[in-house]
Structure 1
Amino acid sequence: MGKRIAMIQGHPDGQTRHFCHALADEYAKGCEDGGHEVRRIEVARLEFPLLRTKEEFEHGVPSDSIKQAQDAIRWADHLVIVYPLWLGSMPALLKAFFEQVFRPGVAFEYQARGQMARKLFTGKSARIVVTMGMPALVYRWFFFAHSLKSVQRNILGFCGIGPTRTTLVGGIEGLNERQRATWLDRLRALGDAGR
């Protein structure tokens, strides 16, 4: 029996296709090959406001598109998150999406004072795919992949999601067609394996 996979396409440009979109498409094709079910979330096409207060975060009513994204994530066994590295981190729109979706009562639950929050997404795994202009080794070893670790620990891990695996596609502007095809093949194979 295949996995249930929620794919979050985090590129903020909803008008133009980018390599992030091609990577996500190949992963989804691999999922079909491997007998997995996929629900796709295109963050750039969703309508939602920025959260500005603790009150909004804890008690605000999410938009219908955010509720649908929450339902897809609850349903999934595995998440795949694809985004470009912008200014050393995820694009602001993707961060705003996570703030909307991973709310109390959905992704975690507050406990008595002094206790850790209860993780409501325990049992789910994830893969994060990040494209970037710099070489992936520079990001990982010189910059210590700080923003990626933040996503893994402070967003996904806080809600119980793990293990979280990563795929870093560096030097994106300089990739030739053969290199791009190799990356697309890798993502399709990961999708086939449900990883």
Structure 2
Amino acid sequence: MSTKIFIWVGHPRETSLSLGLADAYQRGAESQGAEIRRMNIHDMDFDPDLTHGYAQRKEHEPCLVEFIENIKWADHMAWFHPLWWGGMPAKMQGAIDRAFLPGIAFAYHDNDPWWDKLLEGRTADVVVNADTPGFFLKFMYGNAHKHRITKQILGFTGVKVTNYNYFAPAKTASEAKIKGWMEKVYKVGAEAGRR
């Protein structure tokens, strides 16, 4: 049975390094017979504002309905995005705010501080590109984004991150360096496709 992989590209521009890395990953996964569904944030039209928090639900736009369906369908996810101001682009964060709701991604217990992880059993690869060199991100900022996305977002909902790849500095990377990143991501995709 083939692995079901949902690829999500969180760069809001129609052309980007994130998009190219996702293409390489998809080729790798497909080379192993994986079944792919993919969404690009630049194609998603929705209000990213969780206006009332969890107190009042907004109706999900069609793209968010599809996004949630793809997450529930997948055995494995692959998220691609740039690092902007220490985090993911606002529109990507908005999609998470709107879609990862109680009853969908997690469920708080009524009488204790714990919760159920409703996406448990799934795995994910996260691929981030940035201009901040990796050593600087680690020693100056403590890899805050890595902890946030792997533990506080995906981990909180039960998704186990199997690979976290950080490629930087992107703005000064040579063609040879970018080619190496693409080759690495292709291999990560192929590995995911073999699961």
Distance 1:55-1:88 versus aligned 2 partners, 3 A rule? closer
* Aligned residue in 2 for 1:173: 171
Q: CA deviation at 1:147?
A: 1.9
- The amino acid of 1:110's aligned partner reads Y
Q: Which runs of 4+ in 1 moved over 2 A?
A: none
Superimposed CA distance per residue, residues 18-71 of structure 1 (whole angstroms, 9 cap, x where no aligned partner): 111110000000111011111111112111111121246x52221111000100
SS of 2:51's equivalent in the other structure is coil
The CA RMSD measured in Å over matched residues stands at 1.5
C-alpha contact 1:89 1:148 (8 A) present in aligned 2: no
Q: Which runs of 5+ in 2 are unaligned?
A: none
Instruction: Write the letter of the residue equivalent to 1:52.
Output: T
In structure 2, do the counterparts of structure 1 residues 171 and 66 end up closer, same or farther at CA, with 3 Å as the change threshold? Answer: same
What is the distance in 1 between the residues matched to 2:138 and 2:156? 22
Superposition map of 1:9-158 within 5 A? 9-14=9-14, 17-49=15-47, 50-55=49-54, 59-158=57-156
Which range moved further: 118-127 or 155-164?
A: 155-164
Give the alignment's TM-score, normalised by structure 2. 0.93
Distance change (3 Å), C-alpha of 1:134 and 1:55: closer
Identity %: 27
Match of 1:5 in 2: 5
**Aligned to 1:134, what secondary structure does the other structure show?**
coil
Measure the CA separation in 2 of the matches of 1:122 and 1:96.
Answer: 22
Q: In the alignment, is the contact (CA less than 8 A) between 1:10 and 1:43 conserved in 2?
A: yes
What 5-or-longer segments of structure 1 have no aligned partner?
A: none
Question: 1:144/1:63 Cα in 2 relative to 1: closer, same or farther (>3 Å)?
Answer: same
User: Match of 2:86, SS?
Assistant: coil
Match of 2:114, SS state, is coil
| In structure 2, C-alpha distance between the alignment counterparts of 1:62 and 1:140, rounded to whole Å | 37
How many positions carry a matched residue from both structures?
192
Q: Secondary structure at the match of 2:6?
A: strand
How far the C-alpha of 1:159 sits from its partner, in A, is 0.6
1:121–1:55 distance in 2 versus 1, CA, 3 Å: closer
Task: Provide the TM-score with structure 1 as the length reference.
Answer: 0.93
Distance in structure 2 (CA, Å) of the matches to 1:194 and 1:164: 9
